[in-house]
């Protein structure tokens, strides 16, 4: 087996494994059960798509796909930060609402 044949087999196996990982992340994204699970699943799907672009760029010998992967990595990072910030604010809002309800009950 020469180097080209090995690269072909390795990229095919890599693409298959990435697609399986993306399917598993999509199931977690759909089922949940919590917001944190969904955020992590979405981040995993973003990383899987980035790796798919990278492996596919090697497979097709097309370097322009690497630019797409870099842009997607930057957008994915910003989306993860924004969702984490939203989840933190939601947690703080829910905890202060519960504390306020407890103090009203204690006053009675």
Question: What domain range includes position 12?
Answer: 3-107
DSSP line for 17-50 = HHHHHHHHHHHHHHH-SSHHHHHHHHHHHHHHHH
Asked if residue 65 lies in contact with residue 53, where contact means CB atoms within 8 angstroms, the answer is yes
Provide the domain count of the chain: 1
pLDDT band at 108 (very low <50, low <70, confident <90, very high): very low
pLDDT by residue (tens digit) across 25-68? Answer: 999 999 988 888 888 999 999 999 999 999 999 999 999 999 99
74 token code pair:
């930057």
CATH number at residue 76: 1.10.287
- Count of alpha carbons within 13 Å of 1, Cβ hemisphere only? 8
């Amino acid at each position: 087996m020469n180097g080209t044949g090995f690269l072909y087999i390795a990229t095919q196996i890599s693409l298959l494994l990435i697609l399986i990982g993306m399917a598993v992340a999509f199931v977690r994204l759909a089922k949940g059960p919590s917001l944190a699970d969904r955020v992590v699943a979405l981040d995993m799907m973003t990383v899987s798509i980035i790796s798919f672009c990278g492996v596919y760029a090697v497979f097709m010998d097309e370097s322009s796909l690497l630019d797409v992967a870099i842009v997607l990595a930057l957008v994915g990072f910003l989306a993860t930060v924004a969702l984490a910030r939203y989840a933190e604010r939601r947690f703080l809002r829910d905890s202060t609402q519960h504390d306020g309800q407890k103090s009203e009950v204690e006053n009675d």
